[in-house]
Amino acid sequence: MHRTSAYAAATPKALLAPHAIERRAPGPRDVLIDIAYCGVCHSDIHQARDEWGGGGIFPMVPGHEIVGHVAEVGVEVAGFAVGDAVGVGCFVDSCRRCAQCTAGEEQFCEQDMTATYNGMERDGVTPTHGGYSTRITVDQDYVLRIPAGMPLDRAAPLLCAGITTYSPMKHYGVHSGDRVAVVGLGGLGHMAVKIARAMGAEVTVLSTSEGKRDDALALGAHAFAATGDKGTFKRLAKTFDKIIDTVSAAHDYNAYLSLLKTDGTMILLGVPDAPVPLAAGALIMQRRKLGGSLIGGIRETQEMLDFCAEHDIASDIELIDIAQINEAYERMIRGDVRYRFVIDLATLDQAA
Amino acid sequence: MHRTSAYAAATPKALLAPHAIERRAPGPRDVLIDIAYCGVCHSDIHQARDEWGGGGIFPMVPGHEIVGHVAEVGVEVAGFAVGDAVGVGCFVDSCRRCAQCTAGEEQFCEQDMTATYNGMERDGVTPTHGGYSTRITVDQDYVLRIPAGMPLDRAAPLLCAGITTYSPMKHYGVHSGDRVAVVGLGGLGHMAVKIARAMGAEVTVLSTSEGKRDDALALGAHAFAATGDKGTFKRLAKTFDKIIDTVSAAHDYNAYLSLLKTDGTMILLGVPDAPVPLAAGALIMQRRKLGGSLIGGIRETQEMLDFCAEHDIASDIELIDIAQINEAYERMIRGDVRYRFVIDLATLDQAA
């Protein structure tokens, strides 16, 4: 076992604070990773505060946007060597046998994926702990390769925000020349803009705030429209082939659906606190579709990393010390981050 | 012009009553049809009572499930001859030039299709009148061929209820071996059961009423489940590849979505009076889709008729005299019809 420095929420009401955990010594198929950076996902806050209906496992070490270097490999590990730049995303294991796992869609494992944190290992009794820590031991099949030349700190958010936006574009089919709207310009939205543009789409950012116009265009969007302006919905009616909706706050699905062409698809990535009224006619009259998407499988996550490297895409980040994490949470809740906090884990050894 | 007997609603508050209309003498590309039968669609009631937000065109002659025989053809008409059994569905014209029309999806015509009744001809000033009448003049491109041997009265509802259920199964892809649920066993639902079964699906009918079990099985469903029984939703969780939802009454979309497998699709055909709360998580967690569908194009409607002939499918109907139409409306509102009223237009000449 490796005693490892971490930051944990001791209880749902507690601030994150230094905490020591044990990482298993690498088994034959395991990779031990020295964590360099970990992105801060909004779901870290929800889970650390147990806002998803209870059942959170405490003390909890959040973090599922992990990058670092291989420190040690098990005897059967092929394809990873000490010093390699690697990543770990939202899950670290799955049943490996069901139809979804064998199809490479481990995120939909019929026996449930093993979440990187706030989950249980396949033994059912060992809690998992995430990337707000200095190292992690992960089965080689759930380790991603960070392409050469990609800045590690800016790569971290790709492991969740990147795959969460890339996967639906592949699954629902964003094609070159498609008109794509991205709703919301946060951690997910800013990645959606970059990826959709790299796929050849003509990208429009829809945001409540006119203040995001310059950022949207700087990130690569071809156009911007403020949704607070009622004229926007008339002007852009039946315009888009796809809408990537990253917003978790309540908003009017029907108004956004009206912006889709016939046969267009809107893909939900955010989960508002309460169900949102849906008018069947908004789907029926133009044969529109409303779909969801959830991260992506290991194979597709690697494909996304390679795609991002090829297109020189990474996340726009604000690098923080681990000691700033509680303040970062408060700023995220206020929407005050462009566009992802990433923890520099070199600051943890000192803190712990 | 041909003076033609019909039944019309003089105003939104009036009962349907005898009324004379003019049908145009066939132009070079027109087909004059002696109407034999016309199905009674629930949308006839909504429109005759102007329940869709005003704007109904009165006096209104409803009816868009029309079958009959060719009485006369224009000089340029090819493919139809006097005496042929033919049908007319929900629209009788469209712009013919837009992307949707050229793709054979005239129901989504960008200049709007010309509804068979309660619409305006392309001239913008001549109201259209439907099949509660003894004849109709229609451009040959919007006339369907009723396959030989198909009983005409039972064919009539295929022109709306048939294509409305066939088209989404083709568009969203119902495949042999798929597990398909049909929600609601009315005019649409009973056609959905027959068509899905003929496509090789394993069909389950979901209905509030246990009393429909025997009918469902007799119509060809492999299974039946009462949705009033809460155990149904637990027992059938993640069971279906596709759900064809024909219900217009308010119901819980999220509960039905939970019955879909990963990557399953629920298709809405009914429009509840008010929007229905949708939980984004119901779509996201299993990458499910919710779609709509609207009748079908002319080419696909002919394909559906040929498919039904090949599989010996027609609607289950109750044949009525035109004088019974107001009573039939009341019975439909009570759900008291198995499964479609069809008007025998031979009873109209006497009545008018």
* A278, A288, A293 ranked by CB distance to B278: nearest: A278
pLDDT tens digits, B177-186: 999 999 999 9
* Fold exhibited by the domain B162-292: Rossmann fold (3.40.50)
Contact call for residues A303 and A169 (beta carbons, < 8 A) = no
User: Residue B276 and residue A278: Cβ atoms within 8 Å?
Assistant: yes
Interhelix angle A187-198/A161-171, nearest 10 degrees = 50
AA letter at A279: A
pLDDT tens digits, B233-291: 999 999 999 999 999 999 999 999 999 999 999 999 999 989 999 999 999 999 999 99
Establish if A173 touches chain B: CB-CB under 8 angstroms: no
Which pLDDT does position A350 carry in this prediction? 56
Establish if A281 touches chain B: CB-CB under 8 angstroms: yes
pLDDT tens digits, B296-313: 999 999 999 999 999 999
Which pLDDT does position B54 carry in this prediction? 74
B111: which DSSP letter? T
Which pLDDT does position A230 carry in this prediction? 84
* B275, B286, B290 ranked by CB distance to A290: nearest: B290
Q: What is the rounded CA–CA span in Å between residue B313 and residue B310?
A: 8
Q: What percent of chain A has pLDDT over 70?
A: 99
- Does B352 score more than 70 pLDDT? no
Q: What is the rounded CA–CA span in Å between residue A172 and residue A192?
A: 14
pTM of the model: 0.96
Extents of the domains making up chain B? 2-160+296-351, 162-292
Establish if A269 touches chain B: CB-CB under 8 angstroms: yes
Q: What is the rounded CA–CA span in Å between residue A349 and residue A328?
A: 19
Establish if B45 touches chain A: CB-CB under 8 angstroms: no
* Chain A: residue whose CA lies nearest to B286: A108
Quote the minimal CA–CA distance from A129 to chain B in Å: 22
Residue B127 pairs in a beta bridge with B120
User: Residue A269 and residue B284: Cβ atoms within 8 Å?
Assistant: yes
Residue A104 main-chain phi, psi, to 5 deg: 80, 20
- Does A44 score more than 70 pLDDT? yes
Which pLDDT does position A209 carry in this prediction? 83
Going edge to edge, which strands form the sheet with A179-183? A223-226, A202-207, A179-183, A240-245, A260-268, A289-292, B289-292, B260-268, B240-245, B179-183, B202-207, B223-226
pLDDT tens digits, B105-160: 999 999 999 999 999 999 999 999 999 999 999 999 999 999 999 999 999 999 99
Quote the minimal CA–CA distance from B127 to chain A in Å: 22
Q: What is the rounded CA–CA span in Å between residue A109 and residue A142?
A: 13
pLDDT tens digits, A222-272: 999 999 998 999 999 999 999 999 999 999 999 999 999 999 999 999 999
Q: What percent of chain B has pLDDT over 90?
A: 96
Give the 3-state DSSP-derived string for chain A, with helices as H, strands as E and coil as C. Answer: CEEEEEEEECCCCCCEEEEEEEECCCCCCEEEEEEEEEECCHHHHHHHCCCCCCCCCCCECCCCCEEEEEEEECCCCCCCCCCCEEEECCEEECCCCCHHHHCCCHHHCCCCCEECCCCECCCCCCECCCCCECEEEEEHHHCEECCCCCCHHHHHHHHCHHHHHHHHHHHCCCCCCCEEEEECCCHHHHHHHHHHHHCCCEEEEEECCHHHHHHHHHHCCCEEEECCCCHHHHHCCCCEEEEEECCCCCCCHHHHHCCEEEEEEEEECCCCCCCEEECHHHHHCCCCEEEECCCCCHHHHHHHHHHHHHCCCCCCEEEEEHHHHHHHHHHHHCCCCCCEEEEEHHHHHHHC
Q: What is the rounded CA–CA span in Å between residue B109 and residue B115?
A: 11
In CATH terms, are B2-160+296-351 and B162-292 the same topology? no
- Mean pLDDT across chain A, nearest whole number? 96
pLDDT tens digits, B196-234: 999 999 999 999 989 999 999 999 999 999 999 989 999
B290 to chain A: which residues are within 8 Å by CB? Answer: 278, 283, 289-291
Establish if A105 touches chain B: CB-CB under 8 angstroms: yes
User: Residue B253 and residue A290: Cβ atoms within 8 Å?
Assistant: no
B160 to chain A: which residues are within 8 Å by CB? Answer: none
Q: What ipTM does this complex have? A: 0.95
User: Residue A277 and residue B272: Cβ atoms within 8 Å?
Assistant: no
Mean pLDDT of A139-165: 98
Which pLDDT does position B350 carry in this prediction? 56
- Does B22 score more than 90 pLDDT? yes
A90 to chain B: which residues are within 8 Å by CB? Answer: none
B284 to chain A: which residues are within 8 Å by CB? Answer: 268-269, 271, 292-294
* B254, B270, B281 ranked by CB distance to A271: nearest: B281
Contact call for residues A21 and A136 (beta carbons, < 8 A) = no
Establish if A221 touches chain B: CB-CB under 8 angstroms: no
Mean pLDDT of A264-281: 96
User: Residue A276 and residue B278: Cβ atoms within 8 Å?
Assistant: yes
Which pLDDT does position B329 carry in this prediction? 98
Q: What architecture is domain B2-160+296-351?
A: Alpha-Beta Complex (3.90)
Mean pLDDT of A184-204: 98
Mean pLDDT of B314-328: 98
Which pLDDT does position A352 carry in this prediction? 47
User: Residue A277 and residue B276: Cβ atoms within 8 Å?
Assistant: yes
Which pLDDT does position B270 carry in this prediction? 94
* B286, B289, B294 ranked by CB distance to A287: nearest: B294
- Give the E-state strand segments of B94-190 in sequence order: 114-115, 135-139, 144-145, 179-183
Establish if B173 touches chain A: CB-CB under 8 angstroms: no
Quote the minimal CA–CA distance from A278 to chain B in Å: 5
A289 to chain B: which residues are within 8 Å by CB? Answer: 265, 289-292
- Does B7 score more than 90 pLDDT? yes
Q: Which two tokens stand for residue B129?
A: 């009148």
